[in-house]
Structure 1
Amino acid sequence: MDKRLENLHRALHPRAIAVVGARKVDDYSWLRNMSTFDGPVYSVNIDENEIPGIEALGITNYQRLTDIPGPVDFVVVAVPRRASPFVIQDAIDKGVAGAAMFTSGFAETAEDEGRELQEKITAMARASDIALVGPNCMGLYHPKVGIRNHIEQPAGEAGNVGFISQSGTHAINFSLYGASQGLKISKAISFGNGVVLDSPDLLEYLLQDDETTMVGMYVEGSRDDQRLFDVIKRLAPRKPLLIWRGGQTAAGSRATASHTGSPRQDGAVWASLCRQSGALEIQSLEEMVDTMKALQHLKPSGGQRLALVTLTGGPSVVSTDAFTKQGLEIPTLTEASYDKFRAFFNIVGGSYRNPVDMGMNQTPEHFTDIMRILLEDSNIDAVVNDLPLTFLRRRIERRPGYQEQLFNTLTELREHYGKPLLAVVGYSPFEKDEVDFRKALLEIGVPAFHNFERAACAYRQVSTYHRSHP
């Protein structure tokens, strides 16, 4: 492993952490972020007005990094940009493995002073092999050891999902929204301008990280496109790789230049790269999380023929449109399946052609029979259930054991059949109940999505991945 990546590993597993430049104006957030870290956390600050507030947190403050007794492996730098070279030099002298530079105002400003300071800290870090993350970034999140860059991030539990991002906000939002959708993060790294550790380096690290089995990235540009593409081609066949690219339009490209100083990327080149490598192109945070959730919980299948099961007629129509627009098929069933349906399906207002409209008065036994017929049909690769709380909520309240029976049925079907089983829980005024219902479904291994469009997009991405990597 490259020396800088070895140092990054040390920074992600530090013996001690120091925060340089914590301030009262943001409630000493960087120190509070590290409250979940199990080892020593130190402050470095020369402002006499800040020290009482730091010490009130029970944290010892020092004038310089080199004054701290004992080893420090990871440093957060949150000082004005002109002070940053002095902090980096102290970090080098202290033998620090890695530093995350929250400090901004460098090349992304297009100012001479910002460019010169960036060149200076870049040269210092490269000469010493310190793992410099940033500048202009939120840095490291490693929940297993308690390193955080936002106070709301969960900590203490190991995960398997890696994420790198040039945007600090996207990295934080992914960690928080992903956690709410059942994803557990191994490591997430916001790298901003990426002057030393760029996206190819961080992907290389996650490729070699045994704890990471799936990788997502938000990228605006790279200093070495060819090297980035080479890493992607090696990573994607071994671990699912989802790529969300910023700056796809001319206006967006102007925004990336002032955000991280990144040049515009050629969309056609990226599309070709993803096709060749088997990486998945993603268009939003929601699509990133939905696709990862589907990859995590759906049984592997490259099949693109789906059966849709709804409670009423309107959703059966719009769900068909949603999945068909994604290039998926909603085929007719085999005659054998239709013969089985004819033997019992006399529900008023229902239909069993595919999509299957079960009607509002179906029994739990009907649901089980319908699902078995669809899962055993040779024309069907996966089954989608529409479970709207608009109708189910009152049924759950009035019939003790209804939800448990439904979930037991879904669990048995999922275990018995080798086909993917997913759900849609949305279109109701009961938002809090929807969240809880989706979480409960996920706990039995059935990923549930907010609407048909998101479910269709996630399934299309996952089936594409499994077709590329059978």
Structure 2
Amino acid sequence: MAVPGHKLDRMFNPEVVAVVGDKGPGYMWLRNNLPFKEKGGRLYSVQLDEKEIPGIEALGIQNFKSMADIPEPIDYALVAVPRQVSPYVLKDLIANKANGAGFFTSGFAETGEELGVKLQTQLTEMAREASFNLVGPNCMGLYLPKVGVRFNADAPVADDGKIGFLSQSGTHGIMFSLVSAANGMHVSRCASFGNAVVLDVSDYLEYLMLDDETEVIGMYVEGVKNGRRFFETLREACKRKPVIVWKGGQTEAGARATMSHTGSLAAPQAVWDGMMRQCGAITTNNLDETIDVMKLLLNAKRPTGTGMALLAQTGGQSVSITDAFSKAGLRVPRFSDGTYTELGEFFNIVGGSFQNPLDMAGTIQGSMDTLDRILRILDADPNVDAMAMELSAMFAARQWKGKPETLDKTIEEIALHKERSKKPFLVILHPAHEAEYVASIQPKFHAANIPLFQSFERAAAAFARVLGGGGRARTRTGVVGLALETQPR
């Protein structure tokens, strides 16, 4: 859904897209965006080189030698030209009344070279004077799966995206879009913005917080240009929907790397952490942690407390799951007396236990009715705020392979419980020795919107982050917002 009146709205909902400077033999950018044409968008090419034009036309794309010849204003352009040519392309885009463009072109201020700095300054001044939405440079640009605009040929075209993702790194933007899709979660809109000379993370964040299609916002960011604006925008966004922030350059060495990557100056980590706490953002340190948090936010009820009911299949695993959740700062409380009474009526304590955690494989023995009974009893316990259950590939994979319907029934039972319960429910399925098989069945869990994790530690860490990050009380603005000084562009 559009955000009418917002300066980025045309670019995020394009009807006309142009690719400037694409070359064979692969024609990467034109091929990436063929789905846009297939879905009814008008896709054009701008290329002067006579040798390239036959290959472009063979893709069924109309090529123009001049931007002025394109018969309608461009909503979004992807620019892949040598850096010395980029100011001329920007001039033509402005003359075309284009709304915005992503500059894949690199070699600007991030190099530290005098020419690169000079060209970046020129682009910045031109775009600002024309109020032009320049994405980048040194970036992959936009990924808009609903309309078929892509920055990678493997990125899915999907209508059900709920995650808005912002990335100062092109690689992280691509990786997130692919890995999230592999986990059953699609992107609504994604921007890879590189050097961020005109549009900074705050501009994109403002749009996503207003976008009804975006339920959760994630970002990878190395530095911000205007600390005060970012602080205020992030704080407002966190009031509206969950925001996950993966910060690059947390260490001294990492901060040096951001300078050569996107020309970003990293804020002191203590200042950054304080700002995240004040705004109520959920912080992560890498891609896996970010994906795990997204799973919980999209596929589980929102946590309200730290009391965990832990359901393991064997004794050793019951100890390990308890350690993992306890180390993450979560409680594993005793159940209420009523719960123990009910469980004691049928629970097999020969080789099992109905304390918290449960050691329950010998009790369930493949019976979904028994699992349902256990889940209902624990769900009603006032000491339980959330539940995490282990499935064991080591023991169950053989049965699931032999009788696939048993896996389907297990997933169905878990999904039914997850929907009827008001409490968060997590599932852990360690691949064990069956990594290939487990990978093949994971889509079934994703299709049922079950938050599935490969280890106790990842599940516990994600739960603790969601509980601790999004639910904090907002504090007054203070020195944190002011300490992120505006960076030179």
Scaled by the length of structure 2, the TM-score of the pair is 0.91
Greater RCO (CA < 8 Å, at least 6 residues apart): 2
Q: Whole-Å Cα distance in 2 between the matches of residues 257 and 5 of structure 1? A: 35
Letter in 2 for 1:429: H
Q: For 2:363 and 2:339, locate their aligned partners in 1 and report how far apart those are by CA, in whole Å.
A: 21
The CA distance in 2 between the partners of 1:297 and 1:395, in whole Å, is: 27
| Residue 448 to residue 400, structure 1, CA distance change in 2 (3 Å) | closer
Structure 1 residues 374 and 156, CA gap change in structure 2 (3 angstroms): closer
CA distance in 2 between partners of 1:159 and 1:441 (Å): 18
Q: Which moved more, 1:42-51 or 1:163-172?
A: 42-51
Find the residue that maps to 2:382 and give its secondary structure.
coil
- Stretches (4+) displaced over 6 A: none
Q: 1:357 deviation in Å? A: 0.8
**Aligned match of 2:155:** 153
Q: 1:381 aligns with which of 379, 382, 385?
A: 385
- Post-superposition Cα deviations, 1:67-117, rounded to whole Å, max 9, x if no partner, equal 222332211110000000000001011111101000000000000100000
Question: What percentage of aligned pairs have identical amino acids?
Answer: 44
Question: Shift of the alpha carbon at 1:221?
Answer: 0.5
Question: Partner amino acid for 2:149?
Answer: I
Q: Give the superposition deviation at 1:469.
A: 7.0
1:98-109 to 2 correspondences below 5 Å: 98-109=100-111
State the one-letter code of the partner of 1:23: K
Q: CA RMSD in A?
A: 2.0
The residue number in structure 2 matching 1:240 is 242
Query: SS of 1:422's equivalent?
Result: strand
Q: How has the CA–CA distance of structure 1 residues 264 and 465 changed in structure 2, closer, same or farther, with 3 Å as cutoff?
A: closer
Contact 2:431 2:438 in 1 (8 A): no
How big is the shift at 1:237?
A: 1.1
C-alpha deviation, 1:399, in angstroms:
4.5
Structure 1 range deviating more: 405-414 or 384-393:
405-414
Contact 2:280 2:471 (8 Å CA) reproduced: no
CA contact (8 A) 1:7 1:130 kept: no
Deviations 1:349-385 (A, max 9, x none): 1112111111346331432232222212111111111
Instruction: State the secondary structure of the residue aligned to 1:236.
Output: helix
What amino acid does structure 2 have at the position aligned with 1:312?
A: T
Give the 3-state SS of the residue equivalent to 1:24 in structure 2. coil
CA contact (8 A) 2:311 2:357 kept: yes
Quote the residue 2:33 is aligned against. 34
Q: CA deviation at 1:187?
A: 0.5
Q: Distance in 1 between matches of 2:465 and 2:266?
A: 25
Alpha-carbon contact 2:311-2:360 (below 8 Å) kept: yes
- Judge which range, 236-245 or 413-422, deviates more: 413-422
Letter in 2 for 1:14: P
Cα drift, residue 285 of structure 1: 0.9
Supply the distance in 1 between the matched residues of 2:416 and 2:225 (Cα, whole angstroms).
Answer: 50
Equivalent AA in structure 2 for residue 377 of structure 1:
D
Please list, as runs of the form range in 1=range in 2, the aligned pairs for 1:340-419 lying within 5 A after superposition: 340-360=342-362, 362-363=364-365, 364=367, 365-399=369-403, 401-419=405-423
Show CA shifts across 1:37-79 (max 9, x none): 0322111112222222222212222212112223322111100
CA distance in 1, matches of 2:164, 2:24: 32
Structure 2 residue aligned with 1:142: 144
Equivalent pair of 1:303/1:382 in contact (CA under 8 Å) = yes
Deviation at 1:410, TM superposition (A): 2.0
Q: 1:40/1:416 Cα in 2 relative to 1: closer, same or farther (>3 Å)?
A: closer
2:486 alignment partner in structure 1? none
Q: In 1, distance between residues paired with 2:404 and 2:234?
A: 51
For 1:71-470, what aligned pairs fall within 5 Å after superposition? 71-360=73-362, 362-363=364-365, 364=367, 365-399=369-403, 401-465=405-469, 467-468=471-472
Check conservation: 1:218, 1:245, Cα contact below 8 A.
yes
Q: Is the 8 A contact 2:415 2:448 kept in 1?
A: yes
Shift of residue 422, structure 1, vs aligned partner: 1.1
Which secondary structure state, in structure 2, belongs to the residue aligned with residue 61 of structure 1?
strand
- 1:36 is paired with a residue of what secondary structure? helix
In the TM superposition, what is the alpha-carbon distance from 1:413 to its structure 2 partner?
A: 2.2
Supply the distance in 2 between the matched residues of 1:129 and 1:62 (Cα, whole angstroms). Answer: 25
Cα distance in 2, alignment partners of residues 248 and 161 from structure 1: 24
The range that moved more, 416-425 or 130-139, is 416-425
**Cα drift, residue 246 of structure 1:** 0.3
Q: Secondary structure at the match of 2:450?
A: coil
For 1:399 and 1:14, the matched residues in 2 are separated by 48
Q: Which amino acid aligns with 1:240?
A: P
1:20–1:76 CA contact under 8 A, matched in 2? yes
User: Secondary structure, in 3 states, of the residue corresponding to 1:425?
Assistant: strand
User: Structure 2: which amino acid aligns with 1:106?
Assistant: F
How far 1:400 moved relative to its partner?
6.4
Which region of structure 1 is more displaced relative to structure 2, 209-218 or 28-37? 209-218
Q: SS in structure 1 opposite 2:246?
A: strand
Structure 2 counterpart SS, 1:387:
strand
**Which amino acid in the other structure matches residue 185 of structure 2?**
L
Q: Where does structure 1 lack aligned partners over 5 or more consecutive residues?
A: none
SS class of match (2:125): helix
The alpha-carbon deviation at position 7 of structure 1 amounts to 4.3
Letter in 1 for 2:30: L
SS at match of 2:153: coil
Q: Following the alignment from structure 1 to structure 2, what is the Cα–Cα distance between the partners of residues 469 and 399?
A: 49
Alignment: residue pair count? 467
Range with bigger deviation, 198-207 or 188-197: 198-207
